Amino acid sequence: MDFKDWRNTPDKRPTEAETTARRKYYGRRFEDYIGEQIREAQARGDFDNLPGAGKPLNLEENLFAGDKSMGYNLLKSNGYAPKEVELAKEIRREFEHIEAKVARLCRQGRSLRSRRIPPFASEKRAFNAAVEKTAAEYERVLHELNRKVLTLNLMAPALMHQTMFDITKLLQDYREACPPFD
């Protein structure tokens, strides 16, 4: 009795197209394969007439809110956000405000230094006083923002955590960017 390999019967052998397709995707990353499949479907027009195409997503339901979803919907419908979101916005707004003030002062110093006529002694004194006053305010605001960031990190989920501001580095960068006159 001869041995017959049932796996290689003529009706079970892969076709040439199957073999070529297998070799085509062998060793490729899964994301590349999926991306290619999506691009081919787009080229064929499979995604052209899907229901809801071109309409905004419905973000009314928050599956992650859990027990707080009704409260969040109430806040949202009245134009408010949760405390942690409001605090994050406040931190960002205050930091942008103080950074704009620092940038304005640095621009003023560069323009004083680049004038044809050297700055007068009174202008130098006024600029140096403004630099010191802004440095003190910058440090105070950064300490206050670090306090708010700590509060935010204690009350918000881990995804919303922010890093603390490196006050010494930011002050050093400010001093280098905006040196006082001699």
Same domain, 93 and 172: yes
73 lies in some domain: no
23 lies in some domain: yes
109: domain range? 83-177
Q: What is the pLDDT of residue 54?
A: 79
Query: Could you tell me the pLDDT band of residue 87, with boundaries at 50, 70 and 90?
Result: very high
Same domain, 173 and 92: yes
Same domain, 91 and 165: yes
27 lies in some domain: yes
In percent, the amount of the chain with pLDDT more than 70 equals 82
Same domain, 111 and 165: yes
Q: pLDDT at residue 25 above 60?
A: no
Same domain, 98 and 157: yes
8 lies in some domain: no
Q: pLDDT at residue 176 above 60?
A: yes
> How many domains, in total, are found in the chain?
2
Please name which of 176, 172, 177, 115 lies closest in space to residue 123, comparing C-alpha atoms.
115
pLDDT in tens, 134-153: 999 999 999 999 999 999 99
SS (H, E, C) 109-159: HHHHHHCCCCCCHHHHHHHHHHHHHHHHHHHHHHHHHHHHHHHHHHHCCHH
Q: pLDDT at residue 110 above 80?
A: yes
Q: What is the pLDDT of residue 8?
A: 61
65 lies in some domain: no
Same domain, 151 and 92: yes
Same domain, 30 and 88: no
Query: Could you tell me the pLDDT band of residue 117, with boundaries at 50, 70 and 90?
Result: very high
Same domain, 90 and 173: yes
Same domain, 92 and 173: yes
Q: 146 or 5, which is more confident?
A: 146
Q: pLDDT at residue 5 above 80?
A: no
Using CA atoms, how far apart are residues 13 and 150, in angstroms rounded to an integer?
66
Query: Could you tell me the pLDDT band of residue 10, with boundaries at 50, 70 and 90?
Result: low
Using CA atoms, how far apart are residues 142 and 61, in angstroms rounded to an integer?
37
Average model confidence (pLDDT) across the chain:
86
Same domain, 172 and 95: yes
Same domain, 37 and 89: no
Same domain, 26 and 105: no
96 lies in some domain: yes
